[in-house]
Structure 1
Amino acid sequence: MSELTLTELTTILRECAGQDENTDLSGADILDKEFKDLGYDSLAMLETAARIQIVHGVVLADDVVVEAATPRELIRLVNQSLGDARP
């Protein structure tokens, strides 16, 4: 399974929160912005985690997902889990 990228994460975030492509999630500068500042609450993050599980097969505990405050943290957690699952 390929690693989660920022581009893929922003697509998933938009889909899970029902936002259109005009929502400003572009650029690497969002990597360290907190999800709450980007307009994502815990429910949106749990939906995002469910979508990541479907696409990548990565299961993250709900509390871990909610505690990931930034896109960088969430990407790191997902990719770390992907790496741990590799033989």
Structure 2
Amino acid sequence: MTDDGRITLTDLVTVLRQCAGEDENVDLGGDIADRTFTELGYDSIALLETSARMAERFGLDLDDEELADKVTPAALVRYLNRAASGTGEA
């Protein structure tokens, strides 16, 4: 999390690794923001677990239907930050 309270891609990667591990063929430290979760080796169950942990960790109320539309790390981080700020989906 940044000094201004924004959730970062690094925060998401940390939780992804804790929840579902890391595919040995994928470098999560690389430029992954716009790659799909499928390309990164994560299925919908891993993403539900990750989302639940992010919600718990940052005190967020997340909508499962909206989460299902987030297919890249960048899209998910944007959604998480909107949820954290209370502005909803843009």
Q: TM-score scaled by structure 2?
A: 0.81
Task: Give the one of 38, 42, 46 matched to 2:44.
Answer: 42
Count of aligned pairs between the two proteins: 84
Do the aligned partners of 2:23 and 2:40 also contact (CA within 8 Å) in 1? no
Please give the root-mean-square deviation of Cα atoms over the aligned residues, in Å. Answer: 2.2
Percent same amino acid among aligned pairs? Answer: 48
Do the aligned partners of 1:12 and 1:51 also contact (CA within 8 Å) in 2? yes
Partner of 1:69: 71
Gaps of 5+ in 2: none
If asked which structure has higher relative contact order (CA below 8 Å, sep 6+), I would say: 1
Higher helix share goes to which structure?
1
How has the CA–CA distance of structure 1 residues 23 and 15 changed in structure 2, closer, same or farther, with 3 Å as cutoff? farther
Residue deviations 1:37-70 (CA, integer Å, cap 9, x gap)? 1011110110011101111111211122121000
